[in-house]
Amino acid sequence: MSPTSAEKRRLAPLKTPSGLASNAITDISTALTALLADVLALYLKTKNFHWHVSGPHFRDYHLLLDEQAQEIFATTDDIAERARKIGGTTLRSIGHAARLQRIPDNDADYVTPGDMLAELLEDNKHLISLMRETHGLCDEHGDVASASLLETWIDEAERRTWFLFEATRQSK
């Protein structure tokens, strides 16, 4: 039995036109997909802490974490679409994201507000290092558009890191 035209289209390889070599498309889209998994993990952790923060600085921390979560989530579509624009694929499920993420989850029943901020500080610093690695890969392959997007995302993550650092400083 021969495949229908719909089945043929579904099974057809992607042929998205881009000026990048096939190995560059594979390398960069793979790196962007892993980065997307990390960003989703950081987003969910930030929302988790936003939902569960308590204590004397509740309002300030609650609003800070919500603002940061919104900023983090705003990058997800751009990351996925960049992988697709260059001819690659990206995440297909939560399970796929879980297999790729390098930002650890936090499923603890209770985390102190200070520990929440400190953990997010370290996670954002880790994300910055992962973004810089991906930027280097983009530079190697001459993908200036992906590198440019990464520069913006790095700057945003550095701002989050700065805010979290300042919020966790102890006064003398």
Confidence (pTM)? 0.90
Chain-centroid distance, C-alpha 78: 10
Q: What number does CATH give the domain 20-168?
A: 1.20.1260.10
Which one-letter DSSP state was computed for residue 93? S
Which one-letter DSSP state was computed for residue 13? P
Whether the CA torsion 26, 29, 35, 41 is positive or negative: it is negative
Domain boundaries of the chain, sorted by first residue: 20-168
The rounded distance, in Å, linking the Cα atoms of 127 and 67 is 17
Predicted confidence at residue 61, as pLDDT, reads 98
Predicted confidence at residue 13, as pLDDT, reads 58
Q: At what angle do helices 58-85 and 144-168 cross, to 10 degrees?
A: 170
Predicted confidence at residue 19, as pLDDT, reads 82
- pLDDT (tens, 9 = 90+) of the chain, 172 residues, equals 777 777 766 665 566 667 899 999 999 999 999 999 999 999 999 999 999 999 999 999 999 999 999 999 999 999 999 999 999 999 999 999 999 999 999 999 999 999 999 999 999 999 999 999 999 999 999 999 999 999 999 999 999 999 999 999 985 5
